[in-house]
Structure 1
Amino acid sequence: MLWQLLQKFKTIVSDLSLRLLVTRSRSCLLLLMSADALSRYKAADAREAENIVERVTPRLQHANCAVVLSAVKMILQQMELITSTDVVRNLCKKMAPPLVTLLSAEPEIQYVALRNINLIVQRRPTILAHEIKVFFCKYNDPIYVKMEKLDIMIKLASDRNIDQVLLEFKEYATEVDVDFVRKAVRAIGRCAIKLERAAERCISVLLELIKIKVNYVVQEAIIVIKDIFRRYPNTYESIIATLCESLDTLDEPEAKASMIWIIGEYAERIDNADELLESFLESFPEEPAQVQLQLLTATVKLFLKKPTEGPQQMIQVVLNNATVETDNPDLRDRAYIYWRLLSTDPEAAKDIVLAEKPVISDDSNLLDSSLLDELLANIATLSSVYHKPPETFVTRVKATAQKTEDDEYAEGSEAGYPESSAHSADGPTSPPASSSNDAHVGATRPAPAPSTSPPAAPVPDLMGDLLGISNNSIVPVDQPSTPPLPVLLPASTGQGLQISAQLKGQDGQIFYSLLFENNSQIPLGWIHDPV
């Protein structure tokens, strides 16, 4: 008896839990739908925007992550109309804790939250400017979460917190995952490009990593130092000697090309620049195109800066290899241009090759302003996770052909008019004797004039291709003599029930026609097991 009561109580509790779960799901769905509808509404003025924000703000404390993100989206949209700086500052403070709370959920939810936060900090970095510690990577974070946290930390890095950020990046550069280490080293270089006052501290950290003598760390450090040289020309050239000590360890094309660019760009400050470039020339034919192009330009720079006997012989060898012994058209064309410049007007070649280069800028915020606005308007959707506009995922094919009189007449025939014309060659024809058409016996229509517009181009049948069938294999629904449907379940197997089915096409859409036949002598119904 007690066991039966416990089982009944368990059933009641399970039923209540299920009902609560369904109720909660319905309430979340209603909230999301209302938020989506409200996001399409544009407030008339700042006062109305503040009223909307006041009613949406309590949803920031909701337990459902999608509801929280939708509320954040609504507040961000209305903040564009609010003119009071105090109100905007208070709203930024209110949005920070809910976003931080999302990072304590499961890794999959963390990733979705981080992708949305990545967009938010590009428009409103002050929201999480004081919460950068929550983006520090944990030892058990999945790699995709770590990569997103690194990207957000770069965007939130400032002169106030750069020391903490650099300590974290330096720690990450000693991890086991090679891709994560490379991105951490590259993040140090991006911080140096972004923050001019912190560039020297970033370079010091990079030099410390180079001294570790880990191959992929050294090569990634050289790549980012090249970008730092381009951002701050003639500022940190004193570290070139340290970089040249690692020439023997370079085996990646991008790292080689970066080191060759540094040698050619500062050839006048490197005493043995010709010897360093000559060590790369030994394997010129086997090098990738990226290295060959950079080696050709660096050798020309060296010759223009130091027109001595050594560089003259080097330039002849490089130009000969780049024009005669290569099949790369880009390399060959650039070599011919250099050759003609050097042979006709060396001064013009010096002005062109050694011209002042544009300074690179911070690339932390890569998204275009219009695209960022569109993505922020689609927060908590697939668009904000992939950082792509909604049109990338949903394509709608709109029919451009207008209705003709023939189409209208065909619709009238489906509604009850006969498909043939109301007048034949011998005279008017009588409608078929059918009870459904009795109401239209006296109604006759003149034959429509032939349409002069060309027939519309057929819309490609994507569903047919997806199912592995073509338009020719689909039997139209309105075909006069319809062949019998293929039998899927014969009567012998189905105990008298025969099922036939076939895919059919109508107006560019796919339909599945089913036919059930009772070939037995008794009516078929539900089969109940005997009690």
Structure 2
Amino acid sequence: MGDARYFSSSKRGEIHELKEELNSPNKEKKKEAIKKVIAAMTVGKDVSALFPDVVNCMQAQTIEVKKLVYLYVINYAKSQHELAILAVNTFRKDTMDPNPLIRALAVRTMGSIKLEQMTEYLLEPLRRCCKDQDPYVRKTAAICIAKFFEISPDMVEDQGFVAVLKDMLSDANPMVVSNAVIALSEMQQQSGKRMMPLDEKTVSNLLLALNECTEWAQVIILDAITMYQPKDSRQAKEMIERVSARLSHVNSAVVLSAIKVIMKMMDKLNNTDMIRVMCRRLSAPLVTLLSQEPEIQYIALRDIRLIVQKRPIVLQGEVKVFFCKYNDPIYVKMEKLDVMVMLANERNVDVVVAELVDYANEVDLEFACKAVSSIGRIALKLEAAADVCVNAILELIEHRADYVLQESVVSMRDVFRKYPGKYEFVIGPLCENLESLAKPEAKEAIIWILGEYPDRIENAGDLLYSFLDGFFSETYAVQQELLTAAIKFFLKEPTKTNQDIVSKVLKACTNSSSNPDLRDRGYMYWRMLSMGDLEKCKKIVVAPLPRISDTSLLVESGLLETLLGTIGQLSSIYFIAPDELIEGTKQYEEMEDYYADASSVEDRNQNIKAVKAAMASPRNYDERTTDLDSGSEESSSSSEDEDDDDESSDSDEETPTAAVSAAAAAVTPDLPIQRFMVHPEDQRGGNGHTGLKVAAGVGFVKGVLCMELLIGNSGSTPLTGFAIQCNKNAFGLAPKSTQIAGMPDVLEPGSNVSVRVALEPNKLNSGTPPPNHPPLLLQTAIKTNVDIFYMNVPFTLYVVCEPKQLINAEQFLSLWQRCGADRQTSRMATPSQPLNPEMVIARLRQGNLFHVNTRLSKDGASAALYFGACLTNRLVVLLELVITRTLPQKVMVNVRTETPPLVNHMHYLIESLLQLKPAPKQ
């Protein structure tokens, strides 16, 4: 059994037995007892009562026993700090032991016991170890100083340990040098004071030690050298030459650190030819990094974006290296697209655009959409290549794939802004398939085009009017674009029809919108038009637009210089300054103070307090819900009456009703449908045939539940006779018709088609609960003339949640109490960006989760939000979200339901809607 036997013992009176064995004169028995104590501590048993007895064992001379005793002392020193002081004399004695391993072990343990009461007793032993003859002891002492600095910075500085570390920088042993460097760097970062003495002599010593260090020590030293400012161009050139040998190192971290030093030193070079030579020298190691594992490739690609922005000639002729491979992970592909755009120039643009067109026909929709937008970015970047890019977009539009059309509309909107009056011939093809636009960004773009070029589009007024029918189901950005486009329409052509459009939009914005920005903009336009001077209005609204440029891939110049000094570190990957990432730094504390101030301002606002107090009362909530429901009907009828009346009084125009505002806020846009590869082209059908590839996803389009499919023929035989059916499932989801609407009679080899199949629930119920683990899967079969192909289409729980609120506060409270705490599952998570209650309510509403109530903690430090969801099969899931208001923000997700298999699916849905990730275990 070996040492495993120490973990199997669990009996009464064990502590007493261990106490006797620890005080036994028999050394072997004492060693066995210590092993049992450490095993018990490891599995979570409380053995702190044995602290005095274990400390007595520190007198043992064997290093094995000392290691175990020191491990115990580190673990229990905080809870037994009075007794921990008893170990001081042993530490002092061990630092003078003839064995350097014991001396180093004592120093390491001294640094790990973070008790300020002990620190002052250990300073002299530490000082002695800093001058120890053995380098292993000295390098351990250097790290111990940094740990003591974390406990008591002033004491470390007053006792002269900073000077001791500086002396260590000239030590003969490279490991001592590297540990001194990392200790000074950590202390400098914590204090904000300059502690690293980077002068010419010190840097020369560091470069000398570089040749004998381990690879990770080399990284530490190179990172420190990055902070040095050479006196002149000659010294910078010399440093570059001495570091350049690390560009061919086998460790990628060493390579990136060497590149970082060279990039910094090149700023001091005043010889253009020398800079060009060094840029070419950096090309090979960067290209080599792209043949490493995908994770290293991603880090290299993020850093390459910074390097290319600062020195574009580094990879000027290497664009083909960044062409995507079929087996690249999606995160690597997306970064490669960005680098390709940055490296595109007049000489290689034809090759790059041709490659991007191929990517736009890929089945992976996220990748394909990014490829289309990349073509548009190149058009903005290179005026000489704009024709090539526009022709490529036109070619893609002819395929009539929804996702291509939507990205093309967004890209062409920007092209029109950049090159006004040059590419209007593209407007016609863009406007042919407006009904397939689902993404808000695409709708915004096409509405802007309609408002900007009404004279270039045949039925521009009818097209714009078609968007007004679903005005309140659109996002606020689309609504705002509709408002501006309607005003432009009227000013460019003030006909009766256009006047009706303007009147309808203005009334919707001012009388029925709950968004203050949209409402105020509506009032502004209304008052401006009421002045009667259309020419003045035209000069304001239809004024010539400034040309734009694409800077989305570029980092602000000040931040760029900071990030170039962190190549190979997290800052350069996140594109965030180090001070904003590291807790304890000055800038991090300022950000924390900012959020704290914002919270205190909100707490002092009496109006907000009153609203939250009202929401905390279930009785008040029910009354408000009743008022809202009755008010909604009245307001909708009055709104229709207003639409029939073209002219109304000023008071009517400027007095929106609260009921209509609340009703409008309840209408939420659909979540975009994400399609997944569910049937690869090499997967065989029921009879063993291949040739069908399918990407599919389930969601809502304009409130209708459907399955979106991208079907491709990858075989050599035309496919006909398409039909679709689903297997029985827990929610009864099934197609309304087995025929696939919009499917061509014949799908030729090599062609793709995008279609939607309407679904309805409770049609093919299996009578069994759903699987425990997400995602949910809808077993689907597609029949063709060649074979029947089977696939699993993933979907999330929101697809089978009723899109209307069926649970009020009283029902929620009753169900919550009936489920009880026994049926509650809780998970702690951290958001990717700060959340507030309003943001959470809006996002969960998109997932068909309806807000029931909000309660604030007494100290205002957290808010509890309650939501309910009713599934199509009448099952109910209840949710409590407790959100803290201090950094780092935490979210506690509590789910209650009488159907346990739904729990994991609800957690999965919440995490995706709010972009949560599990909180690290403490």
Matched, 1:300 2:487: yes
Pairwise CA distance, 1:397: 6.1
In structure 1, what is the equivalent of residue 452 of structure 2?
265
- Residues 265 and 298 in structure 1, CA contact (< 8 A), matched pair in contact too: yes
- The answer for the alignment partner of 2:411 in structure 1 is 224
Q: Is 2:545 aligned against 1:352?
A: no
| 1:96-245 superposed matches below 5 A | 96-245=283-432
3-state SS in 2 of match to 1:245: helix
Matched with 2:282 is 95
Which residue among 257, 262, 283 is the counterpart of 1:70?
A: 257
Specify the alignment match of 2:244 in structure 1: 57
RMSD: 2.2
Within 2, Cα distance between the matches of 1:294 and 1:103? 43
Cα deviations by residue, 1:63-102 (Å, 9 ceiling, x for unpaired): 1111111111111111111111221111111111111111
Contact 1:155/1:364, CA 8 A, preserved across alignment: no
Answer yes or no: is the 8 Å Cα contact 1:268–1:306 preserved in 2. no
Aligned-pair distance for 1:28? Answer: 0.5
Say whether the 8 Å CA contact 2:489–2:498 is kept in structure 1: yes
Asked if 1 retains the 8 angstrom alpha-carbon contact of 2:579 and 2:585, the reply is no
Structure 1 residue 42: deviation in Å?
Answer: 1.4
In 2, the alpha carbon distance for the partners of 1:298 and 1:38 equals 56
Deviation for aligned residue 1:36:
2.2
Provide the C-alpha distance between the structure 1 equivalents of 2:582 and 2:523, rounded to a whole number of angstroms: 48
3-state SS, counterpart of residue 42 of structure 1:
coil
Q: Which amino acid is the alignment partner of residue 146 of structure 1?
A: K
Cα–Cα, structure 1 residues 56 and 299, in superposed 2: closer, same or farther, change >3 Å? same
* Distance across 2 between alignment mates of 1:239 and 1:230: 14
Query: What is residue 146 of structure 2 aligned with on the other side?
Result: none
Cα distance in 2 for partners of 1:264, 1:249 equals 19
Task: Indicate the residue corresponding to 2:579 in structure 1.
Answer: 391
Letter of the structure 2 residue corresponding to residue 242 of structure 1: P
Q: Kindly indicate whether the alpha-carbon contact (under 8 Å) linking 1:46 and 1:83 is maintained by their aligned counterparts in 2.
A: yes
Q: Structure 1 CA distance, aligned partners of 2:525 and 2:480?
A: 12
Residue 498 (structure 2) aligns with:
311
The DSSP-based 3-state class of the residue aligned with 1:324 is helix
Does residue 372 of structure 1 match 2:581? no
Q: 1:374, 1:251 → 2: CA distance?
A: 40
State the Cα distance separating 1:252 from its structure 2 match: 2.0
Q: Which runs of 5+ in 2 are unaligned?
A: 1-174, 176-210, 590-886, 891-922
What is the CA–CA distance in structure 1 between the aligned matches of 2:271 and 2:389, rounded to whole Å? 38
Instruction: State the shift of 1:364 in Å.
Output: 4.8
Whether the aligned pair in 2 keeps the contact of 1:219 and 1:250 (CA below 8 Å) is yes
CA distance in 2, matches of 1:142, 1:272: 44
Q: For residues 246-290 of structure 1, give each alpha carbon's deviation from its aligned partner in whole angstroms, at most 9, with x where no partner exists.
A: 112112222111111101101123232212212222222332222
Question: When you count strand as a share of all residues, which structure comes out higher?
Answer: 2
Describe the shift of the 1:298–1:359 C-alpha distance in structure 2 as closer, same or farther (beyond 3 A).
same
- C-alpha separation between the residues in 2 aligned to 1:138 and 1:239? 32
Structure 1 residues 222-231 or 245-254, which shifts more? 245-254
Amino acid at match of 2:565: A
Q: 2:569 aligns with which of 367, 375, 381?
A: 381
2:238 is matched by which residue type in structure 1?
A: N
Aligned-partner Cα distance in 2 for 1:128–1:364: 20
Larger radius of gyration: 1
**CA-to-partner distance for each residue in 1:121-158, whole Å, 9 max, x for gaps?**
11011010111111000000001111111111111010
Aligned-partner Cα distance in 1 for 2:278–2:332: 27
Superposed, 1:454-473 pairs within 5 Å as: none
Question: What is the rounded CA distance, in whole Å, between the counterparts of 1:342 and 1:150 in structure 2?
Answer: 46
- C-alpha displacement of 1:365: 4.3
Deviation at 1:166, TM superposition (A): 0.4
Alpha-carbon distance in 1 for matches of 2:256, 2:585: 31
**Partner SS, residue 198 of structure 1:** helix
* Post-superposition offset of 1:320: 1.9
- The answer to whether the Cα contact below 8 Å between 2:452 and 2:488 also exists between their aligned partners in 1 is yes
Look up the match of 2:437.
250
Separation in 2, partners of 1:59, 1:205: 43
Aligned equivalents of 1:270, 1:50: Cα separation in 2 = 61
Contact 1:39 1:74 in 2 (8 A): yes
Between the aligned partners of 2:304 and 2:476, the Cα distance in structure 1 is 39
**Structure 1: gaps of 5 or more residues:** 1-21, 401-464, 469-531
Measured in 2, the distance between the counterparts of 1:39 and 1:282 equals: 60
What amino acid is the match of 1:304? Answer: L
Question: Which residue is 1:462 aligned to?
Answer: none
Distance in 2 between the 1:197 and 1:333 partners? Answer: 42
Matched residues in 1 for 2:254 and 2:223: separation? Answer: 10
Task: After TM superposition, give the deviation of residue 219 of structure 1 in Å.
Answer: 0.7
> CA offsets, 1:447-472, max 9 Å, x none?
xxxxxxxxxxxxxxxxxx99x9xxxx
Partners of 1:381 and 1:360 lie apart in 2 by 33
Note if contact 2:294-2:328 (Cα within 8 Å) is conserved in structure 1.
Answer: yes
| Preserved contact between residue 309 and residue 554 of structure 2 (Cα < 8 Å) | no
One-letter amino acid matched to 1:379: I
Distance in 1 between the 2:225 and 2:472 partners? 63
% same residue: 51
CA distance in 1, matches of 2:391, 2:383: 14
- 3-state SS of paired residue (1:251): coil
Relative contact order higher in (CA < 8 Å, ≥ 6 apart): 1
- What is the CA distance between 1:329 and its match in structure 2? 2.0
Matched residues in 1 for 2:514 and 2:214: separation? 66
User: Contact conserved, 1:341 with 1:348, CA < 8 A, in 2?
Assistant: no
- Secondary structure of residue in 1 paired with 2:512: coil
**Structure-1-length-normalised TM-score:** 0.69
SS at match of 1:146: helix
Could you report, residue by residue, the CA deviation over 1:479-502 in whole angstroms, capped at 9, with x for unpaired residues? xxxxxxxxxxxxxxxxxxxxxxxx
